[in-house]
Amino acid sequence: MTGITGGLGTEAHRTTVLAQIELAHGRSRRRFSATFVATWIALVLLFGGGAWLASGADINFVFTSGPVILSGAGMTILVSALSITFATGLALLGAMARLSTHPIPNGVGSFYVSLFRGTPLLLQIIFMYYALPYVGIRLPALAAGVLALSLNYGAYMTEIFRAGIQAVPRSQREAGRALGMPERLVMRRIVMPQAVRIVIPAVGNEFIAMIKDSSLVSVITIHETLFLAQRIGRSAFEPVAALLVAGAVYWTLTIIFSLFQDRLERRLARSDR
Amino acid sequence: MSVDAANPEHTHEQEHRLGRPAPPGSGYPVGSPMPDHLGDVIVRTTGLEKYFGTNHVLRGVDMEVRQREAVMIIGRSGSGKTTFLRCLNFLEEPTIGWIEIDGVRVEADPLRARSRAHQEQIRQIRLRAGMVFQDFALFPHMTALENCIEAPVRVRGLPEEQAVALAEKFLDKVGLLEKRDEYPSRLSGGQKQRVAIARALCMEPKVLLFDEPTSALDPELIGEVLNVMEELAHEGTTMIVVTHEMHFAREAADRVVFMDQGVIAEQGPPEQILEAPTQEATKRFLRRFLLT
């Protein structure tokens, strides 16, 4: 090692060694971040640029038709936000039903989860829009799409919530009961707030999946990102370029959402054990 | 909510002179003078039995605990002492027997076929019996203060300012007033347990139940919890403590109960049980502690 002053064991020696370690750690951290970012940029250019070149599309397409596709992002967000809200409510009810000791709510809950996890989401969307009118229920496309997404995601999230509620230690419930709290109050004030913290990472994944799966409602003519991309791709004779732009829009939305999720998790972690 | 909704048929304890001779069932040698601060019987179990499946854990426990009495239950693991304590506030459902706390009397209902009115009776028992757990069981999403005011506000219906004042009083009592706004994750084990004691006190229960309150603590943190408990005992808090801390029992107990194989094997004043036990099982159990 160079630049060490003072003899072994002296304060000066120790200070120099610690400073050198600190310096080296800083250097290696900075080198890691720089290379990490460079790798990302290289991969985006390689695959994005490569695909774009292979499509043979004019770069002007991005400026002329890009804004149209981007305008579908509003509908994507609307469909996703509505569906995830309803799905969360359904999942809460579903989880309560699945945890009930009464056979009827328990049966209803397990039937619901089985049906909507056991059939394809795409089928459910088409069914709500094209099949329900045969029994006299005529839903606008947006309502049909949101209904199908909500029911489907509600079924998956029911299981997530159920697992989260069960993950709260038994002693927490006992502590609530021992304080004379009725069961409902124990559930609402003690179990639920802790279950919510436990399920946030998993629910965040569902939110992200929802942003992407909302593209399925393009088959029932909802003017969201993918629908607009396909339409403008056909009319401008640039189908591949249109898909690339749509993909970029979804990707960006999910990245933005992940950042929010990280912040939320960190904020809730403050009171963690 | 009135905590004195005493069931009239069970107020048959006559007015006694303090320091009176021990009657049968009191847990003291019959006729010997009981500690003179003891009041009337406030906790009574009759023929309490508990099965876990076919495992006969409690085999008929009759116990009386008097106002201001500190009872320490000792015994090896598996002797049924924790199960007994958890039956007292129905965290475990007894299989057979009666439990009466401060005039509220509830019979075992192993099939859990209780009517709503009966379930309310259990809640009334829980309001009268505060509990401190081995693993603290503080609510991790609430600060120390919030832990303490939760049940007083939402169960007893106290106005928030009043509940906060009460919580501050008891947090101060356990020496943690300055930690009132900390989350449990920021407290040491000993501090958590002291907050848990304050939380139980805030319900102003008639009796405090402690389930091995120091067993989950690092050795150097045990003292601060025992000090709080000893102070409570000396102030005349009615308490039933399951513990392995023999020195603490010697100092703070009015009565020591040795449980063995699901029954009370021997009981009496601490100096008698801990220093001159008559039962072979008690002697064998205590020998391990004398060696340390």
Which residue is closest to A186 within chain B, CA to CA? B151
Of the pLDDT bands very low, low, confident and very high (cuts 50, 70, 90), residue B5 is: very low
**Kind and range of the H or E element at B55?**
strand B55-66
Contact between A179 and B151 using a beta-carbon 8 Å cutoff: yes
pTM: 0.81
- Does residue A101 sit at the B interface (CB-CB below 8 Å)? no
- Does residue B131 sit at the A interface (CB-CB below 8 Å)? yes
For testing contact with chain B, the best of A168, A179, A184, A189 (most B CBs within 10 A):
A179
Q: ipTM greater than 0.85, yes or no?
A: yes
Contact between B183 and A270 using a beta-carbon 8 Å cutoff: yes
List the single residue in B127, B140, B142 with the smallest CB-CB distance to A180: B127
Q: Average of pLDDT values for A1-5?
A: 56
Which residue is closest to A272 within chain B, CA to CA? B185
Helix axes A239-268, A225-235, angle to 10 degrees: 160
Hey, which residues does A159 pair with through a beta bridge?
none
Which residue is closest to A175 within chain B, CA to CA? B137
Other C-beta atoms lying within 10 Å of the C-beta of residue B234? 12
Contact between B151 and A197 using a beta-carbon 8 Å cutoff: no
Other C-beta atoms lying within 10 Å of the C-beta of residue A115? 13
CA distance B16 to chain A (A): 32
Hey, which residues does B132 pair with through a beta bridge?
B210
d(CA B201, CA B39): 20
Of the pLDDT bands very low, low, confident and very high (cuts 50, 70, 90), residue B3 is: very low
Which residue is closest to B85 within chain A, CA to CA? A178
Contact between A271 and B131 using a beta-carbon 8 Å cutoff: no
- Does residue B126 sit at the A interface (CB-CB below 8 Å)? yes
Q: Which residues in chain A are closer than 8 Å to B1, comparing Cβ atoms?
A: none
Name the strands in the sheet holding B96-101, side by side, starting at the edge strand that comes first in the sequence: B55-66, B41-52, B96-101, B104-107
pLDDT tens readout for residues A169-224: 999 999 999 999 999 999 999 999 999 889 988 998 999 999 999 999 999 989 99
Predicted local confidence at residue B282, as pLDDT: 94
pLDDT tens readout for residues B58-107: 999 999 999 999 999 999 988 999 999 999 999 999 999 999 999 999 99
CA nearest neighbour of B71 among B222, B232, B233: B233
Q: How many residues does chain B have?
A: 292
Helix axes A60-99, A192-213, angle to 10 degrees: 140
- Does residue B135 sit at the A interface (CB-CB below 8 Å)? yes
For testing contact with chain A, the best of B114, B139, B181 (most A CBs within 10 A):
B139
- Does residue B127 sit at the A interface (CB-CB below 8 Å)? yes
Helices first, then strands: H and E counts in chain B: 9, 10
